[in-house]
A and B are shown apart, each in its own frame.
Chain A
Amino acid sequence: DTAVSQTPKYLVTQMGNDKSIKCEQNLGHDTMYWYKQDSKKFLKIMFSYNNKELIINETVPNRFSPKSPDKAHLNLHINSLELGDSAVYFCASSQDLVRVGDVSLVYGYTFGSGTRLTVV
């Protein structure tokens, strides 16, 4: 039973096309993320949603638009694809952070298996 699932796993498309990547989590987590891993394997956050609300929007071209219809889903739509958009895109989720007294409870992310996007 997959915890965080992304589709498709591979996507090859031509420059100028519009494409979407879907992500779903069945963990009951409140927060979902999109990360981009470039050709040098560096991981950088793009967006974060908490209960369908956008909370992190890093410096990302506005050709990238996330959409969260409910807290279990976070999709990524990309318009007018460019060669430089070629990368692996990871969806992830985490439980809401809970602060008990002076101590916070912080958890790692559960990642999807990634979508390798190749723009030709």
Chain B
Amino acid sequence: AQTVTQSQPEMSVQEAETVTLSCTYDTSESDYYLFWYKQPPSRQMILVIRQEAYKQQNATENRFSVNFQKAAKSFSLKISDSQLGDAAMYFCAYREYGNKLVFGAGTILRVKS
């Protein structure tokens, strides 16, 4: 079974600085997708960014970007120019064609002003 590991239970960043959240996954498949979801205190699950495994180019969405290392099975999220509104729980997730979304345990991100 596929597993997703987030080794950082909690991270802190100063406002306006950059932070990187780590994620590794285990799979024997070559065709899959990876996601980062944000869950603020409102508990709404918000899709932040998506990466296709067949693409070598790292996905970017405004201040959010990923570092996708397929061989290492690593998928980290970089948040630039951190804002107070970025404070949330962040989940890394994995999905294959025809299968369910599997989540990591999450990383709590605290943003200090």
Contacts and interface: CB of A to CB of B under 8 A. Distances in A.
Do A and B come together as binding partners?
Answer: yes
Interface of A: 33, 40-45, 48, 56, 88, 90, 92, 94, 97, 99, 102-104, 106-111, 113-114, 116
Given A111-B44, A114-B44, A45 B98 contact: no
Contacts of B91: 43
A25 to B, nearest CB: 14
B81 to A, nearest CB: 24
B50 A108 contact: yes
Contacts of A113: 42-44
Given A106-B96, A113-B43, A42 B103 contact: yes
A45 B101 contact: yes
Q: How large is the interface on B (under 10, 10 to 19, 20 to 34, 35 or more residues)?
A: 20 to 34
17 contacts: A33-B101, A41-B39, A41-B106, A42-B106, A48-B100, A56-B100, A92-B45, A103-B54, A104-B96, A106-B32, A106-B95, A108-B47, A108-B101, A111-B44, A113-B43, A114-B43, A114-B45
- A-B residue pairs, 10 tightest by C-beta: A104-B97, A111-B45, A106-B33, A43-B103, A108-B47, A108-B35, A114-B43, A45-B100, A97-B97, A41-B106
